[in-house]
Homo-oligomer: A and B are copies of this chain.
Amino acid sequence: MSNANPISTQTLRRLPTYYDYLKSLPAEVKNISATSIARELRLNDVQVRKDLALVSGGGKPKVGYVVEHLIDDIGRYLRYDYVDRAVLAGAGNMGHALMCYEGFARYGLDIVTAFDNNAGVIGTYINGKRVLPIEEMGSICSKQDIKIGIITVPAAAAQDVCNIMVQSGIKAIWNFAAVKLNTPKGVIVQNEDLVASLAVLSRHLKQGGDEA
């Protein structure tokens, strides 16, 4: 048995939604119940109650949570107070997009450098950050103690880049390439396959057309 709260990936994925909702409330709202949050976000209220109880001890019967404290508790759990530094490999369109997405800063992510192996891109700047040759990833990651790697290279190159990241000490990989990555134990991979999502959407339209 561990002292740490056991928390499911699904709960973890819902926490930023609670956080954003609470942050969006007007300053006049001092207290809020799990039931209200559930109603507003169209989630099951038992689930919301359980999720919040895992990260905050501040919920009181009738009164609910103090909004400010609950924001702090969730933010601390999600480490929004702590900036995670990340490197990105593949300075193409998607890489460029992520480097320029200011939204991540709010959630404690700072993409410090992009790497590429294209001589035409190396040395250029994206959102004020220099693109470096991929050979320098190891030294940058170890010097700056970077543990998150973002892969936005084509699928065929993704496993090679993943291996370089693992050798560079990366422990959490955010994979935007449409390929399953092999990683050693202790390294987590989160897949974000936009093209796969597109296939689901497009196919739904085709099926709708079949029925019509």
Contacts and interface: CB of A to CB of B under 8 A. Distances in A.
B202 A79 contact: yes
A147 B205 contact: yes
A53 interface: no
A108 B178 contact: no
Copies of this chain per assembly? 2
Contacts of A41: 179-180
Interface string A7-19: 1010011111100
Interface stretch (A27-35, A62-70, A92-100, A131-139): A92-100
Contacts of A193: 13, 16
Contact of A200 (B188, B196, B202): B188
Given A41-B180, A94-B103, A208-B171, A16 B195 contact: yes
Interface in A156-198: 156, 171-174, 178-180, 182, 186, 188, 190, 192-198
A43 B204 CA distance: 25
Contact of A190 (B84, B156, B197, B208): B197
Given A84-B201, A93-B102, 9 more contacts: A15-B199, A17-B178, A78-B202, A93-B100, A97-B101, A109-B202, A172-B201, A172-B204, A174-B197
